[in-house]
Structure 1
Amino acid sequence: MTQILAIDQGTTSTRAIVFDAALRPKASAQKEFTQHFPSSGWVEHDPAEIWDTVLETCKGALDQGGAVAAIGITNQRETVVVWDRETGEPVYNAIVWQDRRTAKFCADLKAAGHEDMVRDKTGLLLDPYFSGTKLAWLLDNVDGVRERAEAGKLAFGTMDSFLIWRMTDGKRHVTDATNAARTLLYSIAEGRWDDEILDLLNIPANLLPEVLDCGADFGETSLFGAPLPILGVAGDQQAATVGQACFAPGMLKSTYGTGCFALLNTGDTLVKSQNRMLGTIAYQFDGKPTYALEGSIFIAGAVVQWLRDGLKIIDDASESAGLAEAADPNQTLYMVPAFTGLGAPYWDPDARGAVFGLTRNSGPAEFARAALESVGFQTRDLLEAMAADYPGDTRNVRVDGGMTASDWTMQFLSDILGAPVDRPRVLETTAVGAAWIAGQRAGIYADQEGFAEAWALDKTFTPAMDAATRDSRYAGWKDAIARTLTDHG
C-alpha cells in the first residue's frame, strides 16, 4: 500500500485527503462545523461535533480513494480540550485559539513580572492566544474540573491529542513537539513540560500528554477497518512549513487560512525576538528540533468570511477579489480587522476592528479592497519584525492557503512587501506536510532533500507598485493601527 490519509482538522472545517504514492491528492472530503460565541471575545467548538466531522470526512475520502498505509494529522493549534480518561467525554467545549477570555489573567501575570521567564522558556508571550491560560481557566471556572484533574481522572490536549485518544480508544495520550510548543507550558530549548510554569498557572502535570517527534508512532486505529498506524502529527502552521519544503535556514512561508501565520526557519538557532515575534519549533525529527520565528495574524481569511456572513456583500469568498478590483481608486480605506484583538507584533487582545477613511461614496467594493489589503499590510508588519530579529538574505516568500488562489490579493501582497511571492501548485500545503511526515516514516515518500526538489511552483508575483506609493500606503496603515490600539497595547 502506497497511499496516505491526511486529516486536516482546522478552525472552521475538517478535511480528509488521500494522497497517492506521488504525494498527489487522490480523494478528499470536507465538513464545516459550528462556531460558538457565548460571550464577547469568546470562541468555542463542540469537540463531539468535530469528532463527527473527522469520522465522516475520513470515511468519505477513503471510500473514494481506497486503502492507505498510514495516517498523518495536522490540526488547529492552541485550541484546548479537557476530557474524562474513562469515557473520553469532554468536560466543556473546546476553547479556541482565537478566544480572548483570559486577557485579564495574562495582563495580571505580565504586571507581576512573569513574561520574561515565560518567553525565555517557551518562546511565547503572555497572551490569551496560547493554551496554558485557557487550561487554567477551565480548571478554575468549570465545576468539579480541578478536583477531577488533581485526582488524575482527566486529560488535557490540543485537538491532535483528543483525536488520537479517540482514534486509539484511549490507549494513547500523546502530542508532537510542534503542538506542545504552542501551549505556553513547554520549554522548547529543553524539550520538556516546564514545572515552573505549571506551578505559576496551577496546572497538575498529570493532565499533560507525552511529547513525541513529528514523525513517530502515535498509535493505531481500527475505526476504518484494518488497523492503521498514525505516523505523523504537526500543528497546522508547522505542517505547512514542511509542506512548503522550508527546510533551510532563511526560508519563509506565509499561510493564509482563517488567520495568517508566517514562519521563518532559523535552523538549530532559537532566536529570542526583540520585536515581539514568537520563537517556536518548526518541526522535530530524530529528537532534534528545528526552530523558527513566527508571526501570527488572527484574522486573514476570516475577514472575507465576515464580508460574506456579516456584511453579506458577497455570496462566496471567491467574489471578493473581483469586487476589490472594481473599487474607486480615489478612495483609500484602511480596515484593521481586530475582531478578536491584534496579534504580532502588537499583541493587543483588547483592540477591536475599525475602518478608517470612509466617505459617503464608500461601498461594498471599497470594503472588499480594504479587507483584502489588510492581509498584505499585516504580513508586512510581520516580515519587517522578522528581518530585524534575523538579519540576512531570506528567500522569496512562499505562500499557501485558500486566499492565495486570488491573483489580485497575491499581487497586492508582493506590491506592499516589495518582494517576490511564490505560489506553489498545491495551495493546501498543510495537508501535504502532514501526509509527507507520515508517508516518509512509512517508507513511502522521499527524504527531505528529495521532497524539496519535488516542490513545484505555480506562479511568482513580482512588485509592480512604485516605492513611493508603497511607503505612503504602508504609512497610512501604521496610522490606522496606532488609532486602533488600546492605551495599554
Structure 2
Amino acid sequence: MTGGPVLAVDQGTSGTKALVLCPRRGVLGSGTAPVRPRHLPGGRVEADPAELYGSVVAAGRAALADAGVPVVAAGLANQGETVLAWDPATGAPLTDALVWQDRRASGICAELAPRQEELAELTGIPVDPYFAAPKMAWIRRHATGAGVVTTSDAWLVHRLTGAFVTDAATAGRTGLLDPAAVAWSAPALDLYGLGGERLPRIADCDEPVGTTTAFGPPLPLTGLVVDQQAALLAQSATAPGAAKCTYGTGAFLLARTGPLPRRTTTGLVGCVAWRLRGRTEHCLDGQVYTVASAVRWLTDLGVIGGARDLDAVGGSVPDSGGVSFVPALAGLAAPWWRG
C-alpha cells in the first residue's frame, strides 16, 4: 500500500488544498477549493461546516481528476483549533464552526485566569481563545448542550468514514490533553466545565481509521494530523531541534523537542508534535495569528492591490518614517498572550 500514490488533503482556514503524491514521481495532481469564513463584530470568526466538508470533497476529487491515476490511501490535515457541535447519530452540525481566530471565548478565559498556571501545567497550553477548549466551553454555555463538541477534524472524519476519532497532534492543541499520557485530562475538562463530555478516541497520526467513498472509489483514511505539525513532520522529521516557520493566514514557528513534553517560561507552547506507530514526539510552538490575513485586510482597505504590491510599495520609500505596523488584529499570541 505504501508504495503507491496517495491523496493528501489539507483543510485550511481560507481554503482546502489537495495533492496526489507518488513516492517515486512526486506530485501527480492537485486541486483547491475556497473556504470563506465570516468575520463578525466582537472578534467572531465563523465558517459553515457544510462548506468545510464540501471543500474537502471538491479539492480531493479535483486532485484525483488532475492526476488521472488510482491512489491507495488518503490523509487529512486540519486547522487544529476550529470547533463545532454536531449530532453523532446523523453527523448533522448543530452550530457553525468557530474558527481558530474567533475571540468570543475571551470572557471564559478571563474567568479561568486564576487557574491558568494549573492548566498550563496540566496540558502545556495557555488559557487563550485561540485554543479549542475555551471555544468548546463557550458553545456548551451559550449555544447548545446537545450532541458532541469537538475540533473540526473529528467531524470531517466522521462525515468521511463514520469513525469518531481525532489524532494525537490535534488533541494536543485543544488544551484538554495530558501530553505525557497522550490522553484526555479529566482535571482540565472539569476546569473548563466540560467534564462528562463524550470526546473522540485519540488515534496515532499514521493509523488507519476507516474507509471513505467521498472521493469516488473506496479509500482507506490512513493519516490524520494538525496542519502545522504536518509541516514540521514533512520538513524536519529526522532532525531533533530543527525548526520550521509556515506562513499562511497566520505564521507558526515549531521546533521538535523529543519524546518528552517540554515546558518553557518564555511564552511558547509545548504540545504533541505527532504520534507514529505508538511513539510520541513533542514540540514547542510560537504563534503569530495575523500574517496573510493582514495582507488581505490592507487590500480590503485599498492600501495595496494585493500581495504582489508589497515589495513595490515597500521599495518606493526610503524608510518607514519610524512607524511600525504590528498586525495584532486578532491579539498577540506567543510570547505575549494578549488578546
TM-score interval for Structure 1 and Structure 2 normalised by the shorter chain: over 0.9
Match of 1:157 among 138, 147, 150: 150
Decide whether the 8 Å contact of 2:236 with 2:244 is kept in 1. Answer: no
Choose the corresponding residue for 2:326, options 329, 333, 336.
Answer: 336
1:301-450 superposed matches below 5 A:
301-309=292-300, 311-329=301-319, 331-349=321-339
Aligned CA RMSD, in angstroms, stands at: 1.5
Deviations 1:279-328 (A, max 9, x none): 0111111222111111111011111111222x223333222222222233
| Letter aligned with residue 207 of structure 1 | R
Alignment partners' CA distance in 1, 2:334 and 2:23: 38
Letter in 2 for 1:83: W
CA contact (8 A) 1:121 1:189 kept: no
User: Separation in 2 of the partners of 1:92 and 1:122?
Assistant: 26
3-state SS of 2:86 partner: strand
TM-score with structure 2 setting the length: 0.95
Pair 1:312–1:343, CA change in 2 (3 A): same
How far apart in 2 are the matches of 1:330 and 1:313? 15
Report what 1:207 is aligned to. 198
Please state which structure has a larger fraction of its residues in strand: 2
Tell me what 1:269 maps to.
260
Point out where structure 1 has 5 or more consecutive residues left out of the alignment.
Answer: 149-153, 350-489
Number of the residue aligned with 2:95: 92
Deviation at 1:121, TM superposition (A): 1.6
CA pair 34-270 structure 1, distance change in 2 beyond 3 A: same
After the TM superposition, which residues 225-304 of structure 1 pair with which residues of structure 2 at under 5 Å, given as runs? 225-304=216-295
Give CA deviations for 1:124-175 in whole Å, capped at 9, x if unaligned.
1111111011011111111xx22x3xxxxx233222211110011xx20001
The answer as to whether partners of 2:186 and 2:195 remain within 8 angstroms in 1 is no
Distance 1:219 1:346 in 2: 40
Post-superposition offset of 1:207: 2.6
Normalising by structure 1, what TM-score?
0.66
CA–CA distance in 2 between the matches of 1:266 and 1:307? 36
Q: For residue 5 of structure 1, report the CA deviation from its aligned partner.
A: 0.6
Q: 1:16 maps to which residue? A: 18
Distance (whole Å) between structure 1 residues aligned to residue 185 and residue 34 of structure 2:
35
Between 1:18-27 and 1:100-109, the stretch displaced more is 18-27
The answer for the alignment partner of 1:436 in structure 2 is none
Match for residue 56 of structure 1?
Answer: 58
Q: 1:79 aligns with which of 78, 82, 88?
A: 82
| Larger Rg over CA atoms | 1
Q: Which moved more, 1:155-164 or 1:183-192?
A: 155-164
Q: Does 1:120 align with 2:113?
A: no
How far did 1:204 drift? 4.4
Structure with greater helix share of residues: 1
Q: How does 1:182-201 map to 2 (within 5 A)?
A: 182-201=173-192
Are 2:271 and 2:283, in contact at CA under 8 Å, matched by a contact in 1?
yes
Indicate if the aligned counterparts of 2:123 and 2:188 stay in contact, CA closer than 8 A: no
Matches within 5 A, 1:131-146: 131-142=132-143, 145-146=144-145
